[in-house]
Structure 1
Amino acid sequence: IYPQLQDYPNREFWWGFRPATPDELPILGNSPCSNLTLATGHYRNGILLAPITAKLIADLWEQKLDPLLESFSYLRFLGESWKSGVGSREKRAEGAEGDIANYQLPTTNYQLPITNNSQMQTLDLSQQQSLDRPLVIADRTFSSRLMTGTGKYRNVEEMQQSVVASGCQIVTVAVRRVQTKAPGHENLAEALDWTKLWMLPNTAGCQTAEEAIRVARLGREMAKVLGQEDNNFVKLEVIPDPKYLLPDPIGTLQAAEQLVKEGFAVLPYINADPMLAKRLEEVGCVTVMPLASPIGSGQGLKTTANIQIIIENAGVPVVVDAGIGTPSEAAQAMELGADALLINTAIAQAKNPPAMARGMKLATEAGRLAYLAGRIPIKDYAIASSPLSGTVTS
C-alpha cells in the first residue's frame, strides 16, 4: 500500500502484556473522566475484535450510543447501584473518580462445565482451573507448585527476573553461602522481596547431621531477621559425597529427628528411597523431596518407578527435587502425581533464565492438570478416534 515505508528506520517500538479483565470480556465506552474513552481488556482477541470495537467507539464519539456498550461498561465491576450511570458522562463524573480510587473489585468464581462420571459439575477457574486441593506444607498454603533456588545464576538481575517469571512463592536459599558471602550470594537477602516470597533456608554444604542441625538454626534466625518471624522451614541436605552429591540417608534421618524435636518444619532432600521417605514422614517431616537424578545433572527422571511408589504411600506432599532439565521433564514429574517441584540449575544455567523459568511454571501447571484429568490407558493396538457406526458406504 505504501512501499516507501520499507526504507524508513524504526524510531521506536513497544510491547506489553495483553490486558485481561476478571470476567474475560473487554471494557468499552465512557469512563469517569470526561476526556478518556475506554477500549481495552480484549486479551488474546484484540485483533479479532478491532473492527467492531472501532465502530462502537467511533459511533460513541458521534453521540450514537449502541446499547451493546452497556454490557461492556467498566461499571459492571462496581455493583448494581452504578448501573444507572451507564451511558451518562455527567452522572459518572459526579464523585465517581474518588470512589473508584478506593474501590476493590469483587472476587468472582467463573464456572466452566466439565464431565466427571457422567455428572455435569462446575469448575472454579480461580482454583487452578481444576478440582484441585491447594498445596499445604506445615499448615501453610501455597498456590504455586513450583519452588526455585537462588544459586548458579550469572548475576543477581537474572535471578530476580527468573523468580518473578516462575511465579513461585517458595525460594530456597543456601544459608552457608549467604553467611560467608560466597560469589553470587552477596546481598542476596536484600535482592528479593521477602514480603511476597517464603524463604526456605537450606543446609547445602553440610556433610554431617551435626553440621546440618547447626546451619538450620542459623537459617531460622536469618528468616526472622528478614521479617518472617514464624518461618521455621528448613530444606535439610546432608551430602558427604563431593563427586555425585548424593544425600546421606542415615545422616538425613538423624538430623530430621532432632530438628523436628526443635520445632522445625523439615523438608528433607533424599534419594528416591520409598522406605526412607516413609521413615522421615513418621518422624514428623512435612514433606519428602526425592531426587529425579543427581543434582545439577539435567538428566531428567531416572528414578520414576521409586518416585511413583513414594507418591502412592506418602501422607505428606512429595516434592521432586534435582535433575530436571527441561519443561517436558517437569511436566512428566507432575503427571506422576508429585505435589510440587524444586528447580534451580535448569533455570539458572539456561541461556535465557527468565524464559526457562516461565516455561517451567507453565509445565508445572500443565503436568498437574494432566495428572488430575487422568490420562488415557496405553494400548498395544490402535483405536479409531471416530466410531465406525453410521459411516456412509457406497
Structure 2
Amino acid sequence: MDLFVRLRIGKRYAALLVTVAAMFALAACGGSDSNTTTAASAPGVSNDTITIGAVLDTTGPLKVICAPILAGDQLYFDKINAAGGINGRKVKLVQVSDDGVSTKTKGAVRQLFEQDNAFALFQVCGSGNANVAESYISAKKIPFVDPIGGGAKFKDAQGKALPWVWMTQPNYGDEGHVIGYYLTNKQHAKKVGLLYEDDVLGLQQKTTLGETLQKNGAQLVASVGYSPTQPDFTAAVQTLKASHPDVIVLNGLPGPTAKFVAAATSQGYHPAMGYLANYPMADNSWAKVLGPAGEGMYVSGYTSTTSPVGQEYLKATSSDAAFSAYKFYGYINSKIFSDALTKAGKNLTRDSLRDALDHDFNNYDTGFGPSLTWTPDKHGGVSDFMFLQIKKAQLTQVSDFIKASQVGQ
C-alpha cells in the first residue's frame, strides 16, 4: 500500500474517531434520550432548578397589595419544593421591585432575563406595568403568566389572543358588567356615581358599567377620574354629591379610594345606598384603613376559601394575625403556574410550557371558585364574581358567584 493511500485511510479513521467521540459527548448530555432531563433545555432551567421571575412592588405605592402576594407565592413554592419540586426540579422565584412605577418596569424585566437568567415571567403587579412587560416578553417569546391587573392586555387590537400572555384574574370590563347587574337587579339602584382611576384600570370599567346600567333601566349620573397619586379628593366628592347618586362605585386601588371615602366622611356626606368597590379592595386590610366609615360597604371579589385548596391555605396560615386575600391570591396563582410547569413535562422548554397552557387548561379547577379555560385563541382569566360586605371590619360573602357571560350581553 503506497504512502498516499495510507494517509487517506488515516484521515478517515481520525474523522471517525471524532464523530464517535462527539456522539458519546451528546449522549452524556442527554441529547440522545428524549426522556432525560437536560441542563440546557431552556434558559433558566437546570437539572435541579427552574428559575422564574416576578416584578412585584415591595417598595412603593403597590406594596400593600404586592408584598402579601409575594408572601403567598413563596408559601406555595416552599410547599412544592419541600415535596421534591416539579418533575424533580426546585422552583427558584426571583423577585424585583419596580417601585410601582411603570417607567421602571422594563428595566426590572430586563434584569430578570438578561442578568438573572429567568425561564418565564410570573406576575407583574399593576395593569400598566404588566403592559410594559408584555412588549418585552412577546418580542422574545417568553411565557408571561398572571399579569396582576384587570386592565392588562391579553389580546391584540383585533381581539386575537397575545401568544405569550395568560391572564388568571378577571378583566375590569367583565367586572363592570357584573357590578352594573348587581346594583340594578339585587340592590335596585337607579342612579349610580363612579370614582375611577383615569387610566387603563378604570376606563374600561367605566364603559361596561354604563352599558349594563342602561340596559337594566338605570344610569351612570356622574363619573370622576383621578390620578393614583392624587392627594386631595374634596372636589371629587362635591362633583359626585351634586349628582345625587343612590350609590357610588369605587374603582382603583386601596389608597386613593380610602382617601375619597375619608374626604366624603369629613364633609358629612354618605350616598343613600353607600358604596360598592371593585375587586382590588377585596381585602380586610382595606376595611381596616376605612375604619367605621367602611361599615356596610360592598366589595366585588372572585375568590373563595371554601374549597380544599382554600382550606389548605387557611391551615397553613393559621398563625397569621388576619386573613389576607392578597396573600391567598399569591398562593392560588402559584398553584396554577406550578400545575402548568408540571404539565409542560420533564424536558421543559418555553414552547412546551406554552403548549401546556394552551391545551391543558380546559375548565380547570382553580381551587378558589371559578373555573379557568385557556386555548390558543383564549388567554383571558376567570370571569365569575361574588360580592362581599364589610361587617365589623371584616369582609363577609353576601352573594353567590355571578358569571359575566350571563349578564354582560
Q: How high is the TM-score relative to the length of structure 1?
A: 0.26
